[in-house]
Amino acid sequence: MNQVELINVSKSFDKQQDILNDINLSIKKGEFFVLVGPSGSGKSTLLRMIAGLEDITDGIIKINERAVNHLPPKDRNLSMVFQNYALYPHLTVEQNILFGLRAKKVNKQEQQKRLNETCQMMEISNLLKRKPKELSGGQRQRVALARSVVSEAPLCLMDEPLSNLDAKLRAHMRIEIKRLQKRLGLTMIYVTHDQVEAMTMGDRIMVLNNGRIQQVGDPITLYNKPANLFVASFIGSPKMNMGKAVFSDQHLIIEDDLHLPKESIKSAMISETKNITVGIRAEHILPAEDSGVTHELTVVNVEQLGNETLISFEIGKELWTAKWLGQWNVHTGDKLPVHISADNISFFDSNSGRLLEASSTEKEEVLAI
């Protein structure tokens, strides 16, 4: 069953045309759906349109199979968590959590029951009498979540709720929000600009840029088969290594620098395309010891992360990064033998940006248990 459905939805302001363009989307009940994109991509606007806080210029938004374009937010039966938490500074935690129930005139006993349940779940029972000013960032976040949970609305919208937390707390809250969503069976629409958040939390992800859908899919699909250059470079960290490529007699030449044997490329469609951009993930530039040296590259930078090592090379005008597991004794200026296989390369049409062929390694990578 579709909890939320968007049909040809678009949005434009008087001065700014096409904030959102022709969005079609359906989100299933109980799904954790992430809207991700750079700032200005229209992701927050889309969320606010679903919430009813923003007018819909064109198209239809349905919640529970019912068109809701004309309904005010309160009649859409949803809850929302804001980036700045939107806690009322003059009210205590308890009053903040019960704010919505009081506005809806839920009876007192029911209020108390839900309050107790929620606070136990969120572990904030000891904070009830405090004001938001007296809470830490993480505690405020929990109160905001509690306010959303206590409403018992089946649909929950979140607008970058973790962006005000420090990195450690953010990683922790990611897990907690995800667990909460599964436990309560909520349908979640979650907006973020952080692709790591999107990858780690989302059942499905929609990548948005300039008001247009770039790709919708589960995290692994987005990573392995990015629909276009934008998705390819947006998803994944470090970002995918890219380069312009041309065919000569026997070789595929990347950035006038890197040569790959032509026969290893099977698809005919690629050879017919004039302008090609190739992409290769950092983990696919392998250390050459076991698989035979294909290239020797000069190291321009090394980042030691302890569990892995990031090594940068200059390929023409591009900076490519390799990610090797473990600790490697490599220094800037070293000539490093590496193994690059054409199988690991994704091909894109430079003009349209569209994917021609994805790297063919996915089957080996995704392990089933």
Partner 1 sequence: MKIPLRRKVIFYILLVVSAFLVFAPALIAFMMSFMTNQDIMSGKLIPTTITFDNYLAVFERFPLLNYLLNSFIVSIVIMIGQLMLSSLAAYAFVFMEFKGRNFLFFVFISTMMVPFEASVIPNFQTIRDLNLIDSYAGLTLPYFAMAFGTFLLRQNFKQIPKELKEASEIAGMGHFKFYLSVVLPMAKTSLITLGVYGFLTSWNMYLWPLLATTNDSVRTVQIGLKQLQTQEQLNEWGVIMAGGIIVVIPTLILLFLGQKRLQQGLAEGAIK
Partner 2 sequence: MNEVAIQSDGVATPDFKKIKKKQQLIRFLKGILFLMPSIILFAVFLFYPLIRTIYLSFFLTDASGSTTVFVGLDNFINMFSSPVFRKSMQSTFLFVIFTVPGTVLIGLFLAILANEKLKGIGFFRTIYSSTMGISVAAGSVFWLFLFNPTMGWLNEILNFFGIEAIGWLTDPSWALLSVSITTIWMNLGFIFLILLGGLQSIDSYLYESAEIDGASYFYKLRRITIPMLSPTLFFVITVSLINAFQTFGQIDMLTSGGPQNETNLIVYSIYQEAFMNYQYGTASAQAVVLFVIILVLTFIQFKLGEKKVHYQ
CA distance 284 to 270: 20
Q: Which residues is 244 bridged to in the sheet? A: 277
CB 284 within 8 A of CB 343: no
> Of these partners, partner 1, partner 2, none, which one is at the site of residue 83 (CB under 5 to 8 Å by kind)?
partner 1
> Of these partners, partner 2, partner 1, none, which one is at the site of residue 60 (CB under 5 to 8 Å by kind)?
partner 2
- Of 87-95, 119-127, 227-235, 259-267, the window that binds partner 1 (rule: CB under 8 A) is 87-95
Of 13 and 303, which CB lies nearer to partner 1 in the complex structure? Answer: 13
Residue 74 engages partner 2 in binding (rule: CB under 8 A)? no
> Of these partners, partner 1, partner 2, none, which one is at the site of residue 51 (CB under 5 to 8 Å by kind)?
partner 1
118: tokens are 């929620």
> Of these partners, partner 1, partner 2, none, which one is at the site of residue 353 (CB under 5 to 8 Å by kind)?
none
CA distance 56 to 53: 10
In this structure, which amino acid lies at residue 240? M
- Of 28-36, 66-74, 202-210, 353-361, the window that binds partner 1 (rule: CB under 8 A) is 66-74
Residue 65 engages partner 2 in binding (rule: CB under 8 A)? yes
Residue 249 engages partner 2 in binding (rule: CB under 8 A)? no
Taking the CA atoms of 268, 269, 271 and 276 in sequence, report the sign of the dihedral they define: negative
Q: Which residues is 301 bridged to in the sheet? A: 312
Q: Is 233 helix (H, G, I), strand (E, B) or coil?
A: helix
Of 75 and 365, which CB lies nearer to partner 2 in the complex structure? Answer: 75
Of 99 and 247, which CB lies nearer to partner 1 in the complex structure? Answer: 99
Residue 69 engages partner 2 in binding (rule: CB under 8 A)? yes
Least Å from the CB of residue 47 to partner 1: 11
Least Å from the CB of residue 1 to partner 2: 11
Residue 44 engages partner 1 in binding (rule: CB under 8 A)? no
Among residues 13, 24, 40, 67, which is the contact residue for partner 2, using CB under 8 A?
67
Give exposure, 345-363, as e/b (b: 16+ Cβ within 10 Å): bbbbbbeeeebbebbbbee
Give the chain's radius of gyration (CA, Å): 24
333 backbone φψ class: left, alpha, beta (φ>0; ψ -120 to 50): left
Residue 82 engages partner 1 in binding (rule: CB under 8 A)? yes
> Of these partners, partner 1, partner 2, none, which one is at the site of residue 330 (CB under 5 to 8 Å by kind)?
none
Does 238 sit behind a cis peptide bond, omega within 30 degrees of 0 on the bond before it?
yes
Among residues 20, 25, 49, 78, which is the contact residue for partner 1, using CB under 8 A?
78
Residue 73 engages partner 1 in binding (rule: CB under 8 A)? yes
Q: Report the candidate in 303, 288, 233 with the shortest Cα–Cα distance to residue 311.
A: 303
> Of these partners, partner 2, partner 1, none, which one is at the site of residue 352 (CB under 5 to 8 Å by kind)?
none
Residue 151 engages partner 1 in binding (rule: CB under 8 A)? yes
Least Å from the CB of residue 65 to partner 2: 7
Residues in region 1-40 near partner 2 by CB under 8 A: 7
**Cα→Cα distances 336→172, 245, 289, 294, Å:** 38, 22, 11, 11
CA distance 345 to 357: 9
Least Å from the CB of residue 246 to partner 1: 51
Give exposure, 110-146, as e/b (b: 16+ Cβ within 10 Å): ebeebbeebbebbebeebbeebbeebeebbbbbbbbb
95: tokens are 């009053």
Least Å from the CB of residue 186 to partner 2: 25
Residue ranges that bind partner 2, judged by CB under 8 A = 7, 55, 60, 65, 67, 69-70
Residue ranges that bind partner 1, judged by CB under 8 A = 48, 51-53, 72-75, 78-80, 82-84, 86, 88-90, 99-100, 103-104, 147, 151
